[in-house]
Structure 1
Amino acid sequence: MRRLWLVAAVFGSVSAAHAADLSDLPVLRGGFTDGLSKTSQNWEGFYVGGQFGFATTDIDFSHAPKSMTDFMLRNSILQAPVGGWSLLPKNHVQSTGFGAYVGKNWQLYDAVMGVEANYSYMNNIASSASDSMTRILDGETAPTGHTYTYVTTLGGGASLKLKDYATFRGRVGWDGGDFMPYAFAGLAIGRAEVSRFATVSYIKHDDYDTSVTVGGVTTTTHHQDTIDTGAWASTEQRANAFMYGWTAGIGIEYAICGNFLIRGEWEHVGFSNVKDITVGLNNFRVGGGYKF
């Protein structure tokens, strides 16, 4: 009987020792799941920063004289056709720029949502164009045997310099630890210096034939008489013309030492026309900031 009690005591001691050792294993303390969890950066809060970028811009002057010619030729047969002419080209411009941004993030698990105001000053986004063209246009219904035509000449030019622009955008990102990819979209407002001019002139012709019969021989002669002429010119210049549009793009942000942030992004901005000129730009930029 004493031997049985001795054996039981020995086994009890061994079991207690094993239990004590097992209590140090991370799987029993929760250390195993702690080891599997990733370290997440806290992206929530206000942030500010500065940026530098390179922009490629398309400035479309093709219909720059349109509203001016529409007014000069109002209530005439020439208004619609002349207003549809693509007189000037679309120019491609490249420039650098710099600016600043401020925003606020909210974080829900791995999703990061935020709002941001962004300002960019452009160094030299400027372009100009000028040209002229002449076309023969059909005129009003003429008397029998007559045809009215207009020899119409349109001339014009335009220039635009984009000074700066601001965007107000919402963004959605994913918490990848020390980095966060994101996408954004919002509204844009730009400030530009714009000038343009247009000239329109026409010569109205009356084409008809006359016939004369002499000795049984009929001779037909074609006539082209000038029955009207007209000419107009208009010039317009704005030192600060505001353009409104939209913005969208993608980027990635990286956290250094917790609250210091660096970023790289691509932003597209499309502006509605200003003085019949449209502007669209792609801005590639890098920046650095601080999150409070």
Structure 2
Amino acid sequence: MITSESSSSMERSMRRLLLAVAMLGTVSAAHAADLSDLPILRGSFSDGLSKTSHNWDGFYVGGQFGFATTDVDFSHAPKTMTDFMLRNSILQAPVGGWSLLPSNHVQSTGFGAYVGRNWQLYDAVFGLEANYSYMNNLATSASDSMTRILDGEAAPAGHTYTYVTSLGGGAALKLKDYATFRGRVGWDGGDFMPYAFAGFAIGRAEVSRFATVSWQKYDDFDEVVVNGGVTTTVHRHLPAGTDTLSKTELRTNSFMYGWTAGIGIEYAICNNILLRGEWEHVGFWDVKDITVGLNNFRVGVGYQF
């Protein structure tokens, strides 16, 4: 049987429990409100620690101005022409291997434009870009001649064939413009982005060359001569044939193909304006037996959409 005193004691205990629960709920709500003000819970803590102030993702276009230094190797420019003129002869192989002309170094300015697209993944930036450069009077030429005595074909017993051979020639090249299609990878440094790139290059040039080959064949042998009962041996060096061959080629629009690679840096100002500076190397494969290597130092300004 529960007495009135026991009932009062239980009521007082219930009131204390309810009061403790209410106080705990109030404290928990206030603590949760304070925690909600922490940046990490609002999603801005990572923003506060990030160094990024520019988003590199998106399309961009721009213009550029550059200074190029170019090496044009003419040394074997006449080769395919001499190979054709001397085909199937004893002279084809040795004459085709002669380094007749020098390698010239030429400098020029140029200007152009570019368009590209970036994709950003955390601090890494990946992109594709098409780049065009028009060159101001990037032209050079060379000419020279040389003469050598070459061994001839197998001769009858006691005879030796030789060829006094002369090669003259010249070549000229004018690089009009070129375009590169390249992939690039960069690092997000906030308002600046260093990058490296590599890709494919195509150029358009005016190319001319000529070659002239002349040879005099000689037959050397010893001949026994009897004169007045006296026998002597006389060495003979007699002409045995001669010829002169020439060939000329000219192409006003000769396409050159090659590769490109380089490094650069971009800096973002006014949110959408991009300044850049870069070094680009382009190596073209032989065009008419002429090798072209170009180093272009450029500055540019672009707009990011």
TM-score (norm 2): 0.85
Corresponding residue to 2:126 among 81, 89, 113: 113
Say which one has the larger Rg.
Answer: 2
CA 1:189–1:24 in structure 2 vs 1: closer, same or farther (change >3 Å)? closer
1:75 equivalent in alignment to 2:59? no
1:46 equivalent in alignment to 2:62? no
Contact 1:40 1:175 in 2 (8 A): no
Q: How does 1:241-260 map to 2 (within 5 A)?
A: 241-260=254-273
Q: Report which stretch shifted further, 210-219 or 133-142.
A: 210-219
Q: How does 1:1-292 map to 2 (within 5 A)?
A: 35-212=48-225, 218-292=231-305
Contact 1:245 1:269 in 2 (8 A): yes
Distance 2:221 2:203 in 1: 55
Contact 1:73 1:79 in 2 (8 A): yes
CA 1:107–1:33 in structure 2 vs 1: closer, same or farther (change >3 Å)? closer
Letter paired with 1:243: M
CA 1:28–1:233 in structure 2 vs 1: closer, same or farther (change >3 Å)? closer
Shift of 1:26: 6.1
Shift of 1:217: 6.4
- Give the 3-state SS of the residue equivalent to 1:68 in structure 2: helix
CA 1:72–1:28 in structure 2 vs 1: closer, same or farther (change >3 Å)? closer
Contact 1:110 1:175 in 2 (8 A): yes
Contact 1:254 1:262 in 2 (8 A): yes
Q: Deviations over 1:88-129 (max 9, x none)?
A: 000000010000000000111111101000000000110000
Contact 1:59 1:90 in 2 (8 A): yes
Contact 2:52 2:189 in 1 (8 A): no
Aligned CA-pair RMSD: 2.4
Contact 2:57 2:118 in 1 (8 A): yes
Distance 1:150 1:192 in 2: 37
CA 1:211–1:28 in structure 2 vs 1: closer, same or farther (change >3 Å)? closer
Distance 1:122 1:205 in 2: 50
Shift of 1:48: 0.1
CA 1:234–1:215 in structure 2 vs 1: closer, same or farther (change >3 Å)? closer
Shift of 1:229: 0.4
Contact 1:205 1:227 in 2 (8 A): yes
Letter paired with 1:277: I
Q: Which runs of 5+ in 1 are unaligned?
A: 1-11
Letter paired with 1:149: T
Q: How many residues are matched? A: 280
Letter paired with 1:132: S
Distance 1:210 1:149 in 2: 18
Distance 1:66 1:34 in 2: 64
Q: Which runs of 5+ in 2 are unaligned?
A: 1-22
TM-score (norm 1): 0.89
User: Among the aligned pairs, what percent are the same residue?
Assistant: 79
Distance 2:52 2:261 in 1: 30
Letter paired with 1:285: R
Alignment match, 2:11? none
